Amino acid sequence: MAGKLIHEVIPVGILRCNCSILGDPATGEAIVVDPGDEIERILEIIRRHGLKVRTIVSTHTHIDHVGGLAGLHRATGAPVLIHEADLELYKNLDTQAQWLGVPTPAMMRIRDFVKEDDTLRWGGYEARVLHTPGHTQGSISLVVDASAVPPGGELPNVAADSVVAARLLAGDTLFHGSIGRTDLPGGSYPQILSSIREKLLTLPDELVVYPGHGDITTIGSEREFNPFLR
Ligand SMILES: [Zn+2]
Ligand SMILES: [Zn+2]
């Protein structure tokens, strides 16, 4: 049975990318999503909860979401995952740094990739990968929930915890009252709209959404109020 999900969200770097640390207190296993910068702050949270990072994943490879990948990988030894369609964008991190006028962060060779419908597991939790291109070609969203295959293989626990644990990490695809920009290389406005309509708005209304920047929201609230989705 999974312990109550640890989910710490900290805005990192000059663009204040929402980095998520998700942990299962029952097993101490965790994943980190979008470590864009400020590795020391992320590590401090990991240490405070006594977590062991199993996986590091970025929702896409814009600099504000990947700037800390190499550093966090070095500090934790955890594998780093992105969608392969964003690998070229990652290799152009120096160009992205020039756009922002910041130094190029440490880089690493990324060899492991996620694709649509893959499942990432930590302790009694899992995240299902949705490929949601449009902001970039390799943009993904993650549906987090209690695992159908709990550690030790006991019967699935479908108690209150799993209901409360369900949430969507939307990267820069869907924001509170807005959507991701599509004017950067690899962006497509029609594509981001169909990704959101077909893959995100089909999720339950009550699902809490953690965007890549800014405030949390819900699927139902965005379906009703988001001016880009009318
Ligand atoms: Zn982005
Ligand atoms: Zn961003």
Read off the pLDDT of residues 81-123 as tens digits, 9 standing for 90 and up: 999 999 999 999 999 999 999 999 999 999 999 999 999 999 9
What are the tens digits of pLDDT across the range 200-216? 999 999 999 999 999 99
d(CA 95, CA 221): 36
Residue 157 confidence (pLDDT): 53
Distance 175 CA to ligand 1 centre (A): 11
Distance 159 CA to ligand 1 centre (A): 35
What the block records as the tokens of 59 is: 């929702």
Residue 1 confidence (pLDDT): 61
Residue 133 bridge partners (DSSP): none
For helices 39-48 and 69-76, angle between their N-to-C axes, nearest 10 degrees: 40
Instruction: Provide the CA 187 distance to its chain's centre, in angstroms.
Output: 18
Distance 158 CA to ligand 1 centre (A): 34
The pairing of strands 80-83 and 52-57 is parallel
C-alpha torsion sign, points 205, 122, 69, 84: negative
Q: Which ligand is nearest to the CA of 13?
A: 2
Distance 110 CA to ligand 1 centre (A): 18
pTM: 0.94
Distance 163 CA to ligand 2 centre (A): 28
Residue 92 CB partners (closer than 8 Å, separation 6+): none
Of 80, 103, 104, nearest to 92 by C-alpha is 104
DSSP letter at 103 equals P
Find the length of the chain: 230
What are the tens digits of pLDDT across the range 153-186? 655 554 545 547 899 999 999 999 999 999 999 9
